[in-house]
Amino acid sequence: MGRIPVIEVGPIVEGGRWPTKAVAGEVIPVRATVFREGHDAVAATAVLVGPDGTDHSHVRMVDVSPGNDRYEAWVQPDAVGNWSFRVEGWSDPYGTWSHDAVLKVHADVDTELMLDEGALVLERAAAAPAMTAAHRQVLGDAVLGLRDVARPPVARLAAGISPEVRAVLAEVPLRDAVSPSAAYPLTVHRPRALYGSWYEFFPRSEGAHQDPNTGEWISGTLRTAAERLPGIAEMGFDVVYLTPIHPIGTTNRKGRNNTLGTEPGDPGSPYGIGAADGGHDAIHADLGTFDDFDAFVARARALGLEVALDLALQASPDHPWVTEHPEWFTTRADGTIAYAENPPKKYQDIYPLNFDNDPAGIYTAIRDVLGVWIDHGVTLFRVDNPHTKPLPFWERILADVAADHPDVIFLSEAFTRPAMMRTLATVGFHQSYTYFTWRHTKDELAEYFTEVAGDSAAVMRPSFWPTTHDILTPYMQQGGAAAFAIRAVLAATGSPTWGIYSGYELAEHVARPGAEEQIDNEKYEYKPRDWERAREQYGLTALLTALNRIRRDHPALQQLRNIRIHPTSDDATLCYSKRVRAEHSPTGREDVVIVVVNLDPFTTRDSLLHLDLAALGLDGQDAFAAHDELSGETYSWGANPFVRLDPWGRPAHIIHVRPA
């Protein structure tokens, strides 16, 4: 315990056992409880330590809970690497003196003594090496004022507590009994680990067609899939995510709509990985070769897109691993290998790996697989069902990949219990799918947005997806194109990372009876789409393009921990804001965005908003210019503006706050 106690420091993970996460340019809150005995003033500083071990920045902390000694500051690492932070508590001689002097001088108690003590405190402060000549001039003038016996005591006191003096000592404080906390680890990744727009598609569907003579389907290839990349880039996406592109087994191959029987030409699920011609380190012959894949990656990069690949650690019965390493799987009492199940769901076309049988062998094989794809330009992996594999495996392999390839990012697709989702993030996953997909009401969304931006943000970076190739919620099934527009706005503005599944532009909303997934699911068949019709039919292509543009233009939407919920009078109208102060903004200008969304896909909704102007940086202002980034219109808003949102034409406002 230091002379000035510093306790309850955060954000830390399991007492510092694992590092807190950030990305370069992210603004992070550091909090601590700082106090002392007696009545003397205390203060605190958050210190950010760079990867080289030197102090990067010192930020004076603010008492955010008066009476509870809870202090907070926002820090901002600016480079990738292994950082740390600490909190320094300290005694504040100037704060103690100024508090006591105001009381005593006005009561004429020990007046001369208090003024003389103030002069001594300021002389000490002026002698600090960090003081500039301008700082010393301000403090020197204050000392002269405090000692000018020709002036009234109150005027002399005013010289010692002037705004100019307080500003100098806020910038370069006089600190006694400095008491540092322990240093806590902070891992800083590249910005894509926090901020990005993902577009998922099945490459075999792009260019797939039926032979006009035989009626048989012919698969699209990586070359034809590359023809879709300009359209994806034009919509402003950053990442193109490919479902598995490996050989697909034939044993127990699933047919259309997940049936157990196949028809001639059924391509099977790409998640049934492995056949005689290879496994996870091979490319399906229908798609092409590694030269074709390299060309795909090169085309993507030329368009400003990174390539993400699905990593599904399972094997079809025909995978080479099954014959070469049968010990990597679970053998049942009847001698058969156990296929994957999630009762009542059955996945007869895949065998899960048993990591307990030969953990070293399995680890080496998977590490080699990752190396193949990283060497061919994959920079992100979407990991299928990581919660069904041991956590020590993930902790080890993610650390090993990070050591050799720190730019490679892993997205966890774990729709499971909160403890598992959080721990996967803790041990190394950069991003996580979330429960956003199933949060629909105003209260659910407000609570969830606040949760993912709160303490969990120290380890778990959310990725918001309205739908996936596996998930089509009742809200999306029933709400039509309006639901797709509403959820796109929420996903794109509620989280720095969001994604859509191909076909979103066409509002594909028809479910397989009794299931929360699309009918004629693309996992089991080819699904070429008419992208020209997509541009014209629902306006969703234009909306997606606008959302990605707005996200690029506004640094506030690229941050996670800065969301604020604002009350509304309507139970289906959600309002929230994001703000980045000028000192933290890459533009050097403050950025404030307000998002207002009608959550009802069937009805126009009216609402009064009750904006917290102080949270928007507008404290003391009666009005401000509210520029709608979606419509281009500008309104004059105050603390309680009225909004009317039509789910078919104008489901949301995305407001850029411009001071009047």
pLDDT in tens, 73-114: 999 999 999 999 999 999 999 999 999 999 999 999 999 999
The answer, as to whether pTM is greater than 0.85, is yes
Contact between 271 and 242 (Cβ < 8 Å): no
Active-site pick, 69, 384, 525, 590: 384
The SS3 assignment for 290 reads helix
For position 550, what pLDDT does the model report? 98
Kindly tell me if the per-residue pLDDT of 8 is higher than 90. Answer: yes
Residue 385 annotated as lining a ligand binding site: yes
Judged against a pLDDT cut of 70, whether residue 331 lies above it is answered with yes
Please report the pLDDT score of residue 435 as a whole number: 97
CB 485 within 8 A of CB 647: yes
Copy the structure tokens of residue 559: 């941050």
Q: Band of the pLDDT at 628, cuts 50, 70, 90? A: very high
The DSSP call for residue 520 is S
CA distance 607 to 569: 5
Residue 145 has pLDDT above 80, yes or no: yes
The pLDDT > 90 percentage for the chain reads 96
In which band, very low, low, confident or very high, does the pLDDT at 342 lie, cut at 50, 70 and 90? confident
**Spatial contact of 547 and 488, defined as CB atoms under 8 Å apart:** yes
pLDDT over 90 (residue 620): no
Active site residue 413: yes
Instruction: Enumerate helices (H) and strands (E) in the chain, giving the number of each.
Output: 16, 32
Active-site choice (88, 413, 505, 590):
413
Q: What is the DSSP string of 202-247?
A: -GGGTT-EE-TTT--EE---HHHHHTTHHHHHHTT-SEEEEPP-S-
523 is in an annotated binding site: yes
Name residue 441's amino acid.
Answer: T
The model's pLDDT over 235-291, given as tens digits with 9 standing for 90+, comes to: 999 999 999 999 999 999 999 999 998 999 999 999 999 999 999 999 999 999 999
Please compute the mean of the pLDDT values over residues 179-187 and round it to a whole number.
98
Please check whether residue 425 is in contact with residue 432, taking contact to mean a CB–CB distance below 8 angstroms: yes
Please choose, from the candidates 83, 85, 82, the residue with its C-alpha nearest in 3D space to the C-alpha of residue 29. Answer: 85
Beta strands in 406-562 (DSSP E): 409-413, 431-433, 462-464, 497-501
Which percentage of the chain shows pLDDT scores above 70?
100
SS3 378: coil
Which residues, in sequence order, are bridge partners of residue 21? 187
Whether residue 491 contacts residue 437, with contact meaning beta carbons closer than 8 Å, is answered with: no
Q: What pLDDT digit, counting tens, does each position of 384-429 carry?
A: 999 999 999 999 999 999 999 999 999 999 999 999 999 999 999 9
Residue range 157-175, pLDDT digits in tens: 999 999 999 999 999 999 9
332-340 mean pLDDT: 93
Task: Determine the length of the chain.
Answer: 660
pLDDT of residue 346: 82
H-helix or E-strand spanning residue 123 = helix 111-126
Is 524 annotated to bind ligand? yes
pLDDT of 660 > 80? The answer is no
Give yes or no for residue 213 having a pLDDT over 80. Answer: yes
What is the per-residue pLDDT for 438? 97
Q: Angle CA(373)–CA(290)–CA(469) in degrees, nearest 5?
A: 60
Residue 291 marked in a binding site: no
What's the pLDDT score for residue 10? 96
Rounded mean pLDDT of 315-330? 97
Query: Please, which pLDDT band fits residue 191 given cuts at 50, 70 and 90?
Result: very high
Q: What pLDDT digit, counting tens, does each position of 519-564 carry?
A: 999 999 999 999 999 999 999 999 999 999 999 999 999 999 999 9
